[in-house]
């Protein structure tokens, strides 16, 4: 009998790390950068000409955001769309 199965940890039960989706990366970066700039969701939404509820749902990764709205949010945060898609940005902002 395989040692892993006997110990209650069959190889098939091991969790492999799941890479975040582009949507999750964008959402995390948007929230981290907004907080780092000490801007409320409402202030960001006003600057980007979007609703606060829309910005909130984007930050939670619930929206499949358009490229136009990515541009609006990036401009409102004085950054680039490319920066908001950087997989390491939110970690750098949090100091992880």
Indicate the pTM of the whole model: 0.79
Of 5 and 15, the one with more pLDDT: 15
Banded pLDDT at 21 (limits 50, 70, 90): very high
Dist. CA 36–CA 46, nearest whole Å: 18
Banded pLDDT at 90 (limits 50, 70, 90): confident
Q: What is the pLDDT of residue 92?
A: 86
Min mean pLDDT across 10-14, 20-24, 72-76, 80-84 is at: 10-14
CATH number of the domain located at residue range(s) 20-90 in this protein: 1.10.260.40
Residue 49: how many other CB atoms lie within 10 Å: 10
Which whole number is the average pLDDT over 14-41?
93
Q: What is the pLDDT of residue 7?
A: 56
């Amino acid at each position: 009998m395989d040692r892993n199965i006997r110990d209650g940890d069959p190889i098939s039960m091991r969790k492999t790390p799941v890479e975040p989706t582009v949507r999750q990366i964008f959402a995390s970066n948007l929230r981290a950068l907004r907080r780092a700039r000490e801007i409320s969701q409402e202030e960001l939404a006003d600057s980007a000409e979007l609703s606060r509820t829309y910005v909130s749902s984007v930050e939670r990764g619930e929206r499949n955001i358009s490229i136009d709205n990515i541009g609006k949010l990036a401009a409102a945060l004085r950054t680039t769309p490319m920066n908001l898609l950087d997989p390491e940005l939110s970690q750098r902002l949090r100091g992880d």
